[in-house]
């Protein structure tokens, strides 16, 4: 028997004004890992999240709605002053509400505040939604990295120079 539309989880339309972006805390980890599992084919070891949080407490952010974590972004400042976005994901039920864009805007502001001269990230060449989001924010594809992912897929390395950041508008 195939699943009817009644069995499928409903996408939730929510006002962005009720979504709070705040630094991640250790107690958020189970929710973060849950969203990661629903968003990526490959997962980071749990210890990596803990280490990342310890080292980058102000650039590991979550989006909270109604007391529930619905998205996260992890970024850090490299010694060469590249602000690097390591991962971003939004709970599939809450996508398309502007939460991804709000998380990226907050973390870019934070990285630039900390001295980033530009923001860089890698994205799968097939990930059209994410590429569109980054382009909306002003990122440009600067190179294609052949076989970057463990399944052999290429990545685009995308960059946003700090002096071109328009604050997400």
Residue 88 near ligand COA by CB under 6 A: yes
Q: Which of 19, 99, 119, 160 binds ligand COA (CB under 6 A)?
A: 99
Question: Which residue has the CB atom at the shortest distance from ligand COA?
Answer: 100
Sheet of strand 140-145: strand arrangement: 19-23, 60-65, 68-77, 82-90, 118-124, 155-161, 140-145
Hey, is 149 helix, strand or coil?
coil
Are 43 and 77 spatial neighbours (Cβ–Cβ below 8 Å)? no
Residue 12 near ligand COA by CB under 6 A: no
Hey, is 141 helix, strand or coil?
strand
Q: Which of 108, 133, 158, 159 binds ligand COA (CB under 6 A)?
A: 133
- Distance, in Å, from the CA atom of 162 to the CA atom of 22, rounded to the nearest integer, reads 22
Q: If 0-12 CB within 10 Å is exposed, 13-18 middle and 19+ buried, where does residue 11 land? A: exposed
- Distance, in Å, from the CA atom of 145 to the CA atom of 148, rounded to the nearest integer, reads 6
> What is the rounded (10 degree) CA torsion for 105, 109, 110, 113?
170
Report in angstroms how near the CB of residue 136 gets to ligand COA at its nearest: 4
Per-residue binding letters, 29-68, with ligand COA (x by CB under 6 A): ----------x-----------------------------
Q: Which of 97, 105, 111, 118 binds ligand COA (CB under 6 A)?
A: 97
Residue 136 near ligand COA by CB under 6 A: yes
Report in angstroms how near the CB of residue 110 gets to ligand COA at its nearest: 17
Using the rule CB under 6 A, give the single segment among 20-28, 43-51, 86-94, 112-120 that binds ligand COA: 86-94
Can you give the binding site for ligand COA, defined by CB under 6 A? 39, 88-90, 95-101, 123, 127, 129-130, 132-133, 136
């Amino acid at each position: 028997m195939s699943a009817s539309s009644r069995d499928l989880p409903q996408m939730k339309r929510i006002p962005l004004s009720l979504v709070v972006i705040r630094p991640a805390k250790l107690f958020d980890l189970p929710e973060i890992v849950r969203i990661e599992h629903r968003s990526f084919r490959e997962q980071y070891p749990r210890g990596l999240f803990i280490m990342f949080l310890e080292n980058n407490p102000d650039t590991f952010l979550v989006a909270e709605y109604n007391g529930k974590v619905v998205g996260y972004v992890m970024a850090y400042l490299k010694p060469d002053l590249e602000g690097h976005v390591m991962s971003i994901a939004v709970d599939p039920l809450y996508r398309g509400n502007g939460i991804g864009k709000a998380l990226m805007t907050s973390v870019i502001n934070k990285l630039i505040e900390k001295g980033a001269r530009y923001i860089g990230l890698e994205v799968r060449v097939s990930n059209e939604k994410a590429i569109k989001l980054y382009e909306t924010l002003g990122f440009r594809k600067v190179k294609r990295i052949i076989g970057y992912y463990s399944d052999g897929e290429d990545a685009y390395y995308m960059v946003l120079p700090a002096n071109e950041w328009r604050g997400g508008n």
